[in-house]
């Protein structure tokens, strides 16, 4: 197996260059989701129509690779950098019959380790912290770095956040394993592409969480958890408005970027121009 590294990118070419340098020994396809087009030289690249969002950009890349008869892809955020041997370790651990998604241990900027997600019955999502000694099956892994088959697709109903958990849930429902491989390590800035502290990120996180939980009483759990998190982190009033935005988006089945860009969508595009503090994207 020789996977192609698939990197969706909106604007942060400074981060993208670091990611490309980390995977320079592997085939790469960049999906350019910028408004005006990125200048990437000889790097293999395809363009979306611009600002279509993470899930749609990834799906366009997966479809392109599948058309080229590439069977596997390492989905990689542009703020993630696999350490030497990471991709080789994932490939060595892959079992074609049993595995649906493999991921490395993610190392954040402070040296903290995360090994996937645990999802409770109420719908609360918790990051698995700490290290592993052996490959371990988890509820879900982050789309920041995820080895999958190119025939898989993300649910485009998710704008930014929870699309990776939803894919893992579908894979496990098909009897495929979702595992974290401790021999594989990947540095991840965690939120350097879209700031979790922004109203837009809060909006898409709430809408994504509610979609993931499928409605009913657990939707209230998603909203309550988001409000609690914002209060615990001393978040700005705009983040609280983002919670309300996300609830409204979910209720009407809308995405901020559909049709004429909303103010939140324009704010998201503007936020891409600068770094942000770490957060849970699932990117």
Q: pLDDT averaged over the chain?
A: 84
Higher pLDDT, 260 or 253: 253
pLDDT at 259: 30
Question: Which of 55, 31, 60 has the alpha carbon at shortest distance from 43?
Answer: 31
Higher pLDDT, 103 or 231: 103
Bridge-based pairing of strands 28-32 and 45-47 is: parallel
- The model's confidence at residue 62, banded by pLDDT at 50, 70 and 90, is very high
pLDDT at 269: 37
Residue partners of 179: CB distance under 8 A and separation at least 6: 93, 99, 101, 102, 103, 135, 136, 137, 138, 141
Higher pLDDT, 135 or 224: 135
For the beta carbon of residue 227, count every other beta carbon within 10 angstroms. 16
pLDDT at 3: 97
**Dist CA 282 CA 143 (whole Å):** 6
Higher pLDDT, 204 or 155: 155
**Dist CA 37 CA 48 (whole Å):** 9
Tokens linked to 2: 């020789």
Higher pLDDT, 106 or 271: 106
3-class secondary-structure state, position 262: coil
**pLDDT one-digit tens code per residue, 161-190:** 889 999 999 999 999 999 999 999 999 986
pLDDT at 192: 55
**pLDDT one-digit tens code per residue, 2-14:** 999 999 998 788 8
Domain ranges of the chain: 199-271
Contact 123, 222 (CB under 8 A): yes
Which of the 8 DSSP states describes residue 233? T
**pLDDT one-digit tens code per residue, 48-60:** 988 888 999 999 9
- Which whole-number Å values give the CA distances from 183 to 3, 7, 43, 93, 136, in the listed order? 18, 22, 28, 9, 11
- The model's confidence at residue 268, banded by pLDDT at 50, 70 and 90, is very low
**Dist CA 23 CA 16 (whole Å):** 11
């Amino acid at each position: 197996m020789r996977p192609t590294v698939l990197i969706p990118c909106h604007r942060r070419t400074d981060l993208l260059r670091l990611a490309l340098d980390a995977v320079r020994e592997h085939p790469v396809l960049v999906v350019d989701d910028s408004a005006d087009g990125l200048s990437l030289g000889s790097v293999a690249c395809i363009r979306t129509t611009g600002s279509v969002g993470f899930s749609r950009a990834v799906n366009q890349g997966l479809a392109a690779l599948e058309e080229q008869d590439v069977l596997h892809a390492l989905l990689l955020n542009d703020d993630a950098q696999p350490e030497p041997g990471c991709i080789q370790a994932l490939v060595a651990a892959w079992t074609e019959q049993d595995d649906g998604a493999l991921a490395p241990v993610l190392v954040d900027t402070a040296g903290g380790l995360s090994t996937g997600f645990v999802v409770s019955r109420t719908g609360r999502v918790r990051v698995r912290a700490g290290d592993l000694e052996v490959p371990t099956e988890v509820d879900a892994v982050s789309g920041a770095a995820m080895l999958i088959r190119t025939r898989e697709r993300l649910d485009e109903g998710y704008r930014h956040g929870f699309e990776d958990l939803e894919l893992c849930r579908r894979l496990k429902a098909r009897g495929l394993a979702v595992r974290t491989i401790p021999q594989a390590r990947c540095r991840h800035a965690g939120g350097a592409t879209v700031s979790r502290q922004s109203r837009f990120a809060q909006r898409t996180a709430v809408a994504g969480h509610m979609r993931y939980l499928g409605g009913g009483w657990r939707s209230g759990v998603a909203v309550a958890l988001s409000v609690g998190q914002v209060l615990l982190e001393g978040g700005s009033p705009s983040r609280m408005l983002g919670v309300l935005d996300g609830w409204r988006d979910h209720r009407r089945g809308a995405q901020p970027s559909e049709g004429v860009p909303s103010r939140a969508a324009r704010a998201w595009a503007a936020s891409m121009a600068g770094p942000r503090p770490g957060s849970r994207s699932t990117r």
